[in-house]
Amino acid sequence: MTDITNSPAATLVQDNAPRSHRHGPVRTLLKNPAALLGLTILLLVTLMALLASTVYPGDPQDIVGPALLWPGDDAQFLLGTDSLGRDVAAGVMYGARVSLTTGAVAAAISLSIGLLVGALSGYFDGWIDDVLVRLTELIQTVPTFLFVIVVVTIGRPSAPLIICAIGAACWPVTARLVRAEFRTLREAEYVVAARSQGFGSAWIIFREILPNALPPVIVSTSVLVANAILIESGLSFLGLGDPNAMSWGSMIGEGREMLRTGWYLSAVPGVAIVLTILALNLVGDAINDTYNPRLAGRA
C-alpha cells in the first residue's frame, strides 16, 4: 500500500503546517494555559479518588464525630461533619472515585457503541445505513436523563447498572459524528488504493478510515465524561444512585434540607462537581484548539 505520509503532497502540508502542530499535539496541549489548569484540577481529583481509602480507610458512611461540625471547627474534620456525624472530607474523596469511575467507564461504553455504529453506517450504503441511522435517531429522541431514570427505576439502583444505562444513552452523538467523518473519508485516495489492493471492508474500516476519523471523537470525549458525571450526580441527588456508594450528588441531596443552617453540606460537593466539569471543559476546548485546523492556523 502506498504510504501517503511520505508523498510530496504530505511533505508539503507538513512543511506548511503551523509550528505548534509540527511539535506534536501533546506538546501543543501542554503549552495551553487553560489546558494546564484543567489537567491540574483533574490530576488533583484523580489523586483524591486514588488516595481515598488510604487517607480514610474506613467506610465514608460511618459516624465518626459530632453532627454538624462546620469546616475549621475541628482539625480532625477539615470540611466538617454532616447531620449524622459523617466526615464530609471523606465523602468528597470517595465521591471523586464514584464520579470519575462513572464518567470514564460510561464514556468508554458510549464511544465503543458510537464508533461501531457510526463506522458501519458511514461506510456502507443501503439498508445497513438506513437501519443504523433510524436506530440512532430513535435513541436520540429520548431525553438522556429520562432514559437513565427509567432504566435505573426498572432495575435495582447500583453503580454498574447506572454506568451501563448512561453509556447506552449517550452514544448517538458519537455515532453521528463518526458517520459524518466516514462519509467524508471513504472516497479518499488511500481508501481507494486499499480497495484496489484487495483489502476487505473490516481492514479498511478499522485500519484505514477509523484512525483518521478519531480527532473529532477525541475532542468530544471530555463532553461525554462530563455529561456522565452530571447524570450520575443528578440521579444520586434524586435518591436513585447506588445506596452503598458515597456520591457527590447524594451529599448535595442530603444537605439540601439544611441549606439555612449548614449550607456547606451542599456547597462542598457542589464545588467539587463544578471544578471537575470545568476542568473537563477546559481540556476539551484545548484539545479542540489543537486538532481543529481552522483554530490551529491562528496559533
In Å, how far are 10, 257, 273 from 191, measured between CA atoms? Answer: 16, 60, 44
How far apart CA 74 and CA 155 sit, in angstroms, is 41
pLDDT recorded at residue 55: 92
Report pTM: 0.84
- Provide block-wise average pLDDT over 10 residues at a time, the chain (299 residues): 40 40 65 89 95 91 90 88 91 94 94 94 90 93 92 89 94 93 89 87 89 86 92 92 90 89 92 95 86 53
Predicted local distance difference test score (pLDDT) of residue 290: 78
Output Rg (C-alpha) for the chain, integer angstroms. Answer: 23
Backbone angles phi, psi at 25, to 5 degrees: -65, -35
| Nearest Cα to Cα of residue 17 among 293, 216, 211 | 293
Amino acid making up residue 15: D
Q: What is the pLDDT of residue 12?
A: 34
Domains of the chain: 47-296 (1.10.3720.10)
Q: Can you say whether residue 72 is alpha, beta or left, with left for phi > 0 and alpha for psi between -120 and 50 degrees?
A: left
pLDDT of residue 265: 93
